[in-house]
Chain A
Amino acid sequence: MRKRFDGGTQALDGVTLQVMAGEFFSLLGPSGCGKTTLLRILAGFENPDEGVVRINGQDMRSVPPYRRPLNLVFQNYALFPHMNVYDNIAFGLRMKRLPASEIGSRISWVLDLVDIAGLEKRRPDELSGGQKQRVALARALVNEPDVLLLDEPLGALDYKLRKQLQVELMNLQEELGLTFIYVTHDQEEALVMSDRLAVMRHGKIEQLDFPEAVYERPTTRFVAQFLGASNLIPAAALDESRTTTPLGDLAVKEALAPGRRYTLSIRPEKLRLHRTRPPRANVVPVRVDDIIYTGAENQYLLDAGPLELIAYTLNADIQEPGFEEFDYDENVFAELPPENLVAIDG
């Protein structure tokens, strides 16, 4: 699928993806990556310059937004300010001209489902952010769509509420067996909630896979850096499993093409720090440059000569290898286990 906007920005550049029925699928990427454009195309608010949207095998090209079997939860909720909660939720059902009795029973079902019973008479400006979010969700769910599109629905909420609603959304999706397509720029949210996710950049999909795969085996430098933190080490393959890098020769557990250039990626929590040099491969002497205390973990900024490395250790107060605490300017050994080094092309 391709989409170009007036002014020449290529919003979507050759995106193809298939979402399974009942799947929680996330589109993840920084702002401007095209994820919202893709969602708006699915909803029917934009037309692709090239490409087809199919829902249940049905071509949606000539289907206007108001006849598509999906509903959208808007980023800023887009609740009708002149209607109370009940009328907001009833809107879609009234547009379908359902009898009042059925509207009533469906609404009481959905009010319980999203836990906002008792707020029916309130106007949107009398609701908290979390309540608005629930009303927006109810307004979409009450129509029993095949697909629910969610455009950064938790973006405006504070951290605690976001965490709570993440869990509720996942439970809801499982309970109803609905297909969710969820747009977010929050990588943690995407990892926590999705069955599968697509990482997007510049209108293209960088990687599409299960959360574990995307995190553990990023296929591009962008994905490695956008999802969590990564140590990126430029490398050239010496043979099928050995590379030469500015930190010395490093072994990997992957089949490399000899002579080819790679970027080795290792997550900070997989890098192990030792006071004494362990008798294993891939050990680099480093000096502790800075220590960042974040509560659950200690983050070490390490001077490895030509490169800086980051390592996270769990703040568990255990004096065992892997949990030790180190001091500023201490000379230590960083171990980069071969099985945790991911070789990215280029």
Chain B
Amino acid sequence: MGSRGDWKKLLPTALPGAAWLVAFMLLPSLFVFYASFLQRGANGWISGPLTLSNYLRFLGLDGESFDPLYLKILWRSLLLGGVTTAVVVLLGYPFAFFIALSKRKNLLLLLVVLPFWTNFLIRVYAWIVIFQRRGVLNAFLASVGFNPLHLYPSWTAVYVATVYTYLPFLILPLYASVEKIDWTLLEAAYDLGAGRLRGFFHAILPQTIAGLVSGVMLVFIPAVGTFVISDLLGAGKTVLIGNVIQQQFGSSRDWAFGSAAAFVLMAVVLLGLWIYARWAGEKGLEDLL
């Protein structure tokens, strides 16, 4: 994209997308950013003057003593995102290979995508049906002579459902990488004296990094911000940053504070991505980003 001519040629194809992003991404974000420095006004609307109080409140610095309530909630959300991502990688990485090497890969891919044919809320409600006191799981446990489990509402249920929800978002991009693996590189590694483990780490893993990275981002970012799953499966007892934000724009009607919370979350995620990008740059993986 050097000269002006290139730019002019690009314009017709880039314009619709750019306009879309400006109208539905950039402008609303700027509005939310602006709102985060305002205060709750009359009728639950927002009004001036500009203030930092929303951020101080989030950081727990607005009262007489330090109150890390919202920081704890943020930490809980990051933990959910991190653990979910880790579990999803452990489950999804081998599974992507299983699909790619299977003779029935089309069927398996269909099974991965199949849940998307049902509404997300219905799928989360289905976990209630499974986990509730007289639910499917406990009926099964009773039939084989075990005591019932109290999994609804619980953090366990939230974690299980989050993993379930985001697993396909890792498998699909990873599968795309695994499909394209050049297996002769593994043979080259063997030929040069690498055993199975080192062969995998030096010849196979690097070829799947691109898919793994996009999968991890597709899982981590929405998992950190989830509120529907914790709302339904935690029955209001498992509060995440997503729930906090949603409440401010809903029942609490404090858009200013909700905007500040949303921006803190975004800043934390972007900071994580920035650190990751620097790490990747040092490793010479910049083409992945």
Contacts and interface: CB of A to CB of B under 8 A. Distances in A.
Contacts of B285: 82
A78 B189 CA distance: 9
B193 A66 contact: yes
A139 B194 CA distance: 14
Interface in B265-288: 284-285
B155 interface: no
A288 B83 CA distance: 83
A248 B217 CA distance: 81
Given A82-B206, A91-B202, A95-B198, A74 B193 contact: no
A43 B198 contact: no
Nearest to B203: A80
B195 A45 contact: no
A84 B191 CA distance: 19
Nearest to B199: A66
Contact of B184 (A67, A76, A143): A76
A66 B203 CA distance: 14
Given A80-B202, A80-B206, A91-B202, A74 B190 contact: no
A74 B203 CA distance: 15
A265 interface: no
Contact of A139 (B192, B198, B202, B207): B192
18 contacts: A43-B187, A45-B187, A65-B187, A65-B190, A66-B190, A66-B191, A66-B193, A66-B194, A67-B193, A72-B188, A74-B184, A76-B184, A80-B188, A80-B203, A81-B207, A91-B194, A140-B191, A143-B193
A68 B193 CA distance: 8
A64 interface: yes
Interface string A23-44: 0000000000000000000011
Given A74-B184, A78-B184, A80-B203, A65 B198 contact: no
A201 to B, nearest CB: 25
A96 interface: yes
B67 interface: no
B187 A74 contact: yes
Given A45-B187, A74-B187, 15 more contacts: A43-B187, A43-B191, A45-B190, A64-B195, A65-B187, A65-B190, A66-B190, A72-B188, A74-B188, A80-B206, A82-B207, A92-B193, A95-B189, A95-B192, A96-B193
Contacts of B139: none
Contact of B190 (A64, A79, A82): A64
Main secondary structure of the interface of B (DSSP, over half): helix
Q: Which 6 A-B pairs have the closest CB atoms?
A: A92-B192, A95-B193, A78-B188, A65-B190, A82-B206, A78-B184
Contacts of A76: 184
Contacts, number: 61
A45, A66, A72, A76: most-surrounded residue (chain B CB, <10 A): A66
A231 interface: no
B179 interface: no
A81 B285 CA distance: 11
B182 interface: yes
Contacts of A184: none
A71 interface: yes
Interface in A174-195: none
Contacts of B193: 66-67, 92, 95-96, 143
B185 interface: yes
Interface string A161-176: 0000000000000000
Contacts of A67: 193
A33 B184 CA distance: 21
